[in-house]
Amino acid sequence: MDWLINALYYVIPFIILLGILVFVHELGHFLVARFCGVKVEEFSIGFGKELWGRTDKKGTHWKIAAVPLGGYCRFLGDGDETSSTSGEVEKLSEEDKKKAFPFQPAWKKLAIVLAGPGANYLFAIIIFASIFFFLGKITFPPVVGEVIAGGAADKAGLQVNDRILTVNGREVHSFDEVSREVDMTVTENVHLTLKRGDKDLTLTVPLGVTEIEAPNGVKIKKKMMGIRSVNVIEVNKEKISLPRAFADAAVESWRITELTLRGVGQMISGQRGADDLGGIIRIAEMSGDISKQSGAIDFMVFMALLSINLGLINLFPIPLLDGGHVVIYLVEMATGKELNEKIKDVMFKFGLGILVALMLFATWNDVLRLFHRWFS
């Protein structure tokens, strides 16, 4: 019976979450393609065997497939789901060529490709703005969301859901303030007062020291406690206007983008361990944890965060992703001629290799994380 409960908490929320985000992404491509006069032959949520489908009046076949790990829009003239050009494209009638994706000017292709990530960002902004307008501003309180195994905080006895009240005698009201006070600590220990349930506790945490590379290339030693703020949010009731809610939502979306890019940059430069890279299993784990321990607001915020990450990742200039197509169409716009199909084919195969390698590495990280979670 336990497996059934776990399925309800982990599998179902994950499928719903990923399905919504994929639908939003592909809907962006679909709407702009229709606006540009390009025929969408197929709109799929998932891959593989079709479980449900119907064809609308304009000839688009909408379907839900068996493997719910993505989706695609296939345009007239596409050879496959990656929008590679079909070998039969030259056999299209002149009327069909007007509606086929390969025969569109580069600027139209660019607009269609950018619409997917753009829809993810717009979706996140709408979620944040709705929360800000109807409920209040989101804050990230000084609450421990995750204790890194073997870190200084773990050894000192900090636990998940501990609320930090003071750091070295200074009151803190957000997780960012905790980080800043730790950075300012000149001794080897940091002194905390915290609330755990109904109890007030005092702890002394011997700080761990990690060597990182600063933006100027100089290696510096940074003190860290070994805690993270994960899936911990609070809503402060504050009445704001709808325009301000959208403005604040846009700022919040940009802040998340900036933090994500900084984290990716730190992984590339070696400042941050690549074990932070997670994949599908990590998303399922986090969505399940939120569904078990938190409420609808937390789930909506998590959905917005993932939507931003999905939009941002798709903008990376890797062939097969939207960002790779963006590079190709920008080159075509600059040169005034279409890129050779053989060159595109090599680029897409290279991009496929990169994506498969990243997926395998992320899955390995996820499996190791689950192993430590279950057996530590």
pLDDT of 211 > 70? The answer is no
Q: What is the mean pLDDT of the chain?
A: 82
Please give the pLDDT value at position 34: 95
* DSSP state for residue 10 in the 8-state scheme: I
pLDDT of residue 180: 76
Burial of 190 (0-12, 13-18, 19+ CB in 10 A): buried
> Lowest-confidence range among 67-71, 160-164, 227-231, 356-360?
227-231
Residue 99 has pLDDT above 70, yes or no: yes
Find, among 233, 212, 211, 224, the residue nearest to 153 by Cα.
224
Q: With residue 111 as reference, give the H or E element that holds it.
A: helix 106-134
Distance CA 97, CA 111 (A): 18
Tens of pLDDT, residues 234-271 = 777 778 899 999 999 999 899 888 877 877 776 676 65
Q: Which segment, 60-74, 144-158, 182-196, 341-355, is predicted with the most confidence on average?
A: 60-74
pLDDT in tens, 314-335: 999 888 889 999 999 998 898 8
| Chain segment 277-328, per-residue pLDDT in tens | 667 666 676 677 666 666 778 788 889 989 999 999 999 988 888 999 999 9
Instruction: Please tell me the least confidently modeled range out of 12-26, 98-112, 228-242, 246-260.
Output: 228-242
Arithmetic mean of pLDDT, 360-374: 68
CA distance linking residue 228 with residue 231, whole number of Å:
10
Q: With 0-12 CB in 10 A as exposed, 13-18 as middle and 19+ as buried, what is 243?
A: exposed
d(CA 159, CA 166): 16
Q: What's the pTM?
A: 0.76
For 22, phi and psi rounded to 5 degrees? -65, -40
- Of all residues in the chain, the percent with pLDDT exceeding 70 is 80
List, for residues 248-257, the tens digit of each pLDDT value: 999 989 988 8
pLDDT number for residue 214: 46
**Do residues 146 and 232 make contact, with C-beta atoms less than 8 angstroms apart?**
no
pLDDT at 171 over 60: yes
Name the DSSP letter for residue 39. -
pLDDT given at position 127: 95
pLDDT at 41 exceeding the cut of 90: yes
| Residue 26 near residue 125, CB atoms below 8 Å | no
Structural domains of the chain, ranges and CATH numbers in brackets: 2-36+104-135+305-375 (no CATH), 141-232 (2.30.42.10)
* 316 φ/ψ angles, rounded to the nearest 5 degrees: -60, 140
Q: Are 133 and 180 in contact (CB under 8 A)?
A: no
Q: What is the pLDDT of residue 215?
A: 44
Is residue 218 over pLDDT 50?
Answer: no
Note whether 165 and 171 are within 8 A (CB): yes
Do 131 and 138 contact (CB within 8 A), yes or no?
yes
- 83 torsion bin: left (phi>0), alpha (psi -120 to 50), beta (else): left
Residues involved in catalysis: 26
Q: What confidence tier does 219 reach under pLDDT thresholds 50, 70, 90?
A: low
Q: Is it the case that residue 130 has pLDDT exceeding 90?
A: yes
Q: Measuring CA to CA, which residue among 262, 191, 186, 192 is closest to residue 221?
A: 186
Structure tokens belonging to residue 98: 């007007």
